[in-house]
Amino acid sequence: MKSGALSRFRLTCFPGYILCAAAFGILVLSPSKGLSKPRTPRFKVIPAPYLHFPGGHNANRQADFYADSNSPSHWDGDTFYVLNSWEQPWVASGSSLTQLGAGVPGSFNDSELPKLWIWIESSHKDADGTLYAWYHNEIPNLCPPRVDDIPGYPVSVKIGALRSKDNGVHWENLGFIIEPDPESIDCRTEDMWYAGGTGDFSVHLDATKQYFYFYFTNYSAVTTEQGICAARLKFSDRNSPRGKIQFWIRGSWGQQSTIACVTPIFPAEIDTRRRDGRTYWGPSIHWNSYLRTYVMVLNKIKDTTWATEGLYITFNKNIANPNGWSRPELLMTAEEARHANPKKSANGWYVQVMGTRKGETDKLASRAARLFVDGQSRWELDFQK
């Protein structure tokens, strides 16, 4: 059409097409560009035989456990390894996810680490066989004891780095890499668990091996900084990471530091220092080879007793773009999550996807994968394009 003729039509745009309405009918032109949003992948949660991680025994609590955090995994040849933690890490191995032996406690070159409360939440197996891992450290007894809370809580949290040459049996401490400003700790919080800090995270190396991307939960005393946040570390800095972290701040990568000053990608809905605080937390991320996209699963609380509101899922083609995650969709209700073990109700925490084929891990999965909650699985997650 010439511009003069076009003025006689009234243009109405619909997703994917330009429709031109005229007195004599409707003329459908070619699909428009940039008018429709990319289609979000779909998924189905399907019942599957009950499965749980090997876990270990927490001597401090005098209790056995399956997992009390994200459980990173990796392959070394034909052997599959998984790390489960509750105040200290355990490592189990076997021929596959469904054929794991009993877990054994890890050991450290730093005599202080066994005294700390640490959870290994993410890992990376390097080409030379070195295993890098990152841990969530809780510092108890910073605040006056409370009658209604668990002894030692609320805590401050920070993130540290480790390195192993034997698949997680022995660890070398590389130091703390993401810490809170000491002045940001707020003992007046109504949160049962956290008085401040950064933790409950997932780490993923990008496809070009330039950066490790950290997606973590920020429990800052600054309300606008609470929620799911992002940081990155150069791959070349993995052996000396302290002071090398860059944080996602107002849409760009900010200063190199160990202190978190951040802009959340999923902000807290209600201040987490309030009893009715509400936020997403504890992300777990994998690259889905079938969808060709990154998948993040999230926990969400409805108050700061940390009662589960539900479990959620979100997608992103580019892990280097924290603003690229889709709006979280409900993956599982609180009632479903709390019954990961059909015989025993639990917290409904620590949602995680695990690939089931050889070579797949918590960081790599395909169309069909196992869905874990509280270290237990009775579901398969089926992704659809």
Banded pLDDT at 333 (limits 50, 70, 90): very high
Asked whether residue 13 carries a pLDDT value surpassing 70, the answer given is no
**Pick from 235, 351, 211, 357: nearest CA to 289:** 357
Mean per-residue pLDDT, 55-74 = 95
Residues in Cβ contact with 305 at an 8 Å cutoff, skipping those fewer than 6 apart: 192, 275
Domain ranges of the chain: 1-36, 42-384
Tens of pLDDT, residue by residue over 349-367, are 999 999 999 999 999 999 9
Q: Which helix (H) or strand (E) holds 10?
A: strand 10-14
Question: Do β-strands 131-139 and 155-164 pair in parallel, antiparallel, or remain unpaired?
Answer: antiparallel
33-47, 208-222, 250-264, range with the lowest pLDDT: 33-47
| Per-residue pLDDT, 25 | 36
In a 10 Å sphere around its CB, with 0-12 CB exposed, 13-18 middle and 19+ buried, how is residue 92 labelled? buried
- Under 8 Å between Cβ of 195 and 181: no
pLDDT 10s digits, 102-146: 999 999 999 999 999 999 999 999 999 999 999 999 999 999 988
Residue pair 203/221 in contact by the 8 Å Cβ criterion? no
Query: Rounded distance, CA 263 to CA 298, Å?
Result: 18
Distance (Å, rounded) from C-alpha 228 to C-alpha 147? 30
Question: Domain spanning 42-384: which CATH class is it, in words?
Answer: mainly beta
In this prediction, residue 31 has a pLDDT band, given cuts at 50, 70 and 90, of very low
308-335 average pLDDT score: 98
pLDDT given for residue 184 in this prediction: 85
